[in-house]
């Protein structure tokens, strides 16, 4: 029988199959706990048939595309389940687009995207799982992507 670690939710978003240990990074991407407007539950290192995973359940909130792209950078196997009236109304696997614009800072201090002029950061996605990105302008690859997420 499937063991339920956190109660089912009535309405909101369940981010499931998060790379084990990365739930807190997902919370940071969602601005939690600073922007707390709803109940959030977290399970870390839960056993599943595909190895261990983390789960984040955010009640009464649906995610922005930019938030989903950020999650794909640190949890490429995550699924986003939209819950309405206790049912899984939608299920999507996160997927990185081929380019990510304005969501990660380049780690090269002299990169044109780090000047004060309004050049948005831009990265080419060279591998989706594990995520690997290089700067469109200077070709620098961030050492730790999660540290560079805006
Ligand atoms: N869930 C929830 N509240 C609900 C319905 C589902 O919190 N009212 C959660 C489940 O606990 C699970 C996730 O949403 O973590 C996806 O639910 P479901 O699709 O029913 O589970 P699985 O079939 O196991 O999903 P998958 O195949 O994606 O692993
Ligand atoms: Zn750069």
Q: Which atom of ligand 1 is nearest to the CA of 55?
A: 15
Give ligand 1 pocket residues (Cβ under 6 A): 8-9, 14, 16, 55, 57, 79, 81, 83, 86, 88, 91
Query: Mind listing the pLDDT tens digit for each residue in 39-78?
Result: 999 999 999 988 999 999 999 999 999 999 999 999 999 9
Q: Which atom of ligand 1 is nearest to the CA of 14?
A: 14
> Does residue 134 carry a pLDDT above 60?
yes
State the chain's mean pLDDT as an integer: 93
> Does residue 9 carry a pLDDT above 80?
yes
User: Of 59, 25, 24, 22, whose CA–CA distance to 40 is shortest?
Assistant: 59
Look at residue 34 in the predicted model and tell me its pLDDT. 81
User: Of 89, 29, 34, 96, whose CA–CA distance to 56 is shortest?
Assistant: 29
- Beta strand pairing call for 131-135 and 122-128: antiparallel
Residue with tokens 């044109």: 112
Q: Kindly list the structural domains of the chain, giving each domain's residue range(s) and its CATH number in brackets, ordered by start.
A: 12-93 (3.30.70.140), 99-148 (2.30.30.20)
């Amino acid at each position: 029988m499937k063991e339920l670690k956190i109660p089912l939710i009535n309405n909101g978003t369940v981010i499931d199959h998060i790379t084990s240990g990365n739930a807190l990074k997902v919370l940071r991407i969602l601005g939690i706990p600073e922007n707390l407007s709803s109940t959030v539950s977290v399970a870390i290192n839960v056993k599943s048939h595909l190895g261990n995973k983390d789960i984040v359940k955010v009640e009464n909130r649906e995610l922005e595309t930019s938030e989903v792209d950020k999650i794909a950078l640190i949890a490429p196997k995550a699924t986003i389940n939209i819950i309405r009236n206790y049912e899984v109304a939608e299920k999507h696997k996160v997927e990185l687009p081929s380019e990510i614009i304005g969501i990660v800072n380049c780690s090269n201090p002299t990169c044109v995207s780090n000047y004060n002029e309004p050049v948005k950061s831009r990265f080419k996605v060279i591998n989706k799982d594990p995520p690997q990105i290089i700067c469109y302008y200077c070709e620098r690859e961030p050492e730790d992507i999660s540290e560079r997420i805006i």
